[in-house]
Amino acid sequence: MSSDDWKRQAAEQALSFVEDGMKLGLGTGSTAAKFVDLLGAKVKSGLKVVCVPTSEATRAQAAALGIPLGTLDQHPALDLTVDGADEIDEELRLIKGGGGALLREKIVAVASNRVVIIADSSKRVDVLGRFPLPLEVVPFGLAATQRLIFQMAADSGCDGEIKLRAGADGTPYLTDNGNHIFDCSFGTIDDPEALDDALKLVPGVVESGLFLGIADVGIIAGPMGVEVLS
């Protein structure tokens, strides 16, 4: 079995949290896309849901599958969001944003009554920080923002390289919100809450990829089977 199979297994298990009539948040990334595919098949066979996508990519995928879509303004309180993650620890703390959708993902997740994270076992870590932490930042004053992120992170015990993410054409990556992303290779993040608090004090930082106290359930699939953390 490959990581693709495990992502699908986790997505299948997440379907058991979906009930007829629910308002759903749809995550972004290759694992979330598997859930969207499976949900599309359920909708075809009669499941009634309305979904709020967390990115333009997910919106396009869901629309092509005939999944009914709405906006968060139309449905400000969602029943359930299913999303992937770049890292997940034992306390269901996450790093997200590898796919660049962290801001909308966090807004949608926090508007949801329940958040289910699906992942293959490579995403599971004892301590967050192997995956570079994405920070969504406004385009204005990038160098000043980068400098301040470095200082604030150092004050909370983290340091390392902070790189502006590049898009496919080599220019700075643009999020769906017209912002950029700094990928921060801080290494082990011993106190994610302290780091998150510090980063939020940097005016140019719109949101961090640390999702703390947001996930309710983690479904991790791998060679040892499917494990549900809650």
Catalytic residues: 105
| Identity of the residue, 98 or 222, whose beta carbon is nearer to ligand 5RP in the bound complex | 98
- Smallest distance from ligand 5RP to CB 45, Å: 25
Chain CA centroid to CA 49, Å: 21
- Residue 220 binding ligand 5RP, by CB under 6 A: no
- Smallest distance from ligand 5RP to CB 4, Å: 10
Q: Which stretch binds ligand 5RP (CB under 6 A): 43-51, 79-87, 157-165, 199-207?
A: 79-87
Residue in 199, 93, 198, 189 with CA at minimum distance from that of residue 137 = 199
The Cα 40–Cα 187 span in angstroms is 38
Q: Which stretch binds ligand 5RP (CB under 6 A): 17-25, 65-73, 99-107, 194-202?
A: 99-107
Q: Which stretch binds ligand 5RP (CB under 6 A): 12-20, 66-74, 78-86, 168-176?
A: 78-86
- Residue 132 binding ligand 5RP, by CB under 6 A: no
- Residue 61 binding ligand 5RP, by CB under 6 A: no
- Residue 53 binding ligand 5RP, by CB under 6 A: no
- Residue 98 binding ligand 5RP, by CB under 6 A: yes
Residue in 216, 202, 226, 223 with CA at minimum distance from that of residue 92 = 216
Which of 79, 83, 136, 196 is close enough to bind ligand 5RP by CB under 6 A?
A: 83
Per CB under 6 A, residues contacting ligand 5RP are 27-32, 83-86, 96-102, 105
